[in-house]
Amino acid sequence: MKWHDFLVTDAIIADLKATDRDDAIIEMIDALIANGAAPADLRDDLIQQIVEREKHGSTGFGKGVAVPHVKHERIEKMAAGIGVSQKGVDFNALDKAPVYSIVLLLSPKDKPDEHLQAMENIFSNLQKDTFRRFLRQSTTREEIEDLIQEADAQQLTG
């Protein structure tokens, strides 16, 4: 599975305004909803589920990256947004460092295999120092889209 299979490019936020975890989640959920990735009436439920999950264990896995995610029965198609913060977000990450790059994934509850494939793609890219560095340095949606296209192309050859 490649990024273009689930990334909502109009839900890429190159300059997140939020400085704390909950506000960052809200900002990203709002971008996904605004671009048709989820029904507007799910907003509060999705935010609550993701924040609840974060309270039990942060998805900020270190190195300036977090991957909050939720499976919901009313999500019909997997969708992700990317947020880049220039200031850093306190995500209670495992390494206690601020998070600069966030990938938020919404998945249909009845498609766990697709969810795992998307998570595998996200994590395999975020494990790469160069990908993380370029993502963090991106200041426009276009730069992030170019990086994602390059990652998808490398997946074909790698």
* Residues 49-81 pLDDT 10s: 999 999 999 999 899 999 999 999 999 999 999
Give the up-direction half-sphere exposure of residue 21: CA atoms within 13 A in the CB hemisphere. 23
> What's the pLDDT at 64?
96
Q: Where are the alpha helices (DSSP H) in the chain?
A: 21-34, 43-56, 112-126, 129-137, 141-157
Is residue 157 pLDDT above 70, yes or no? no
Strand partners, 35: none
Question: 4, 56, 69, 72: which is the annotated catalytic residue?
Answer: 69
Mean pLDDT in residue range 114-125: 96
> What's the pLDDT at 156?
67
CATH superfamily, region 3-157: Mannitol-specific EII; Chain A (3.40.930.10)
Q: Provide, rounded to the nearest whole percent, the portion of the chain with pLDDT above 90.
A: 96
Q: Is 72 a catalytic residue?
A: no
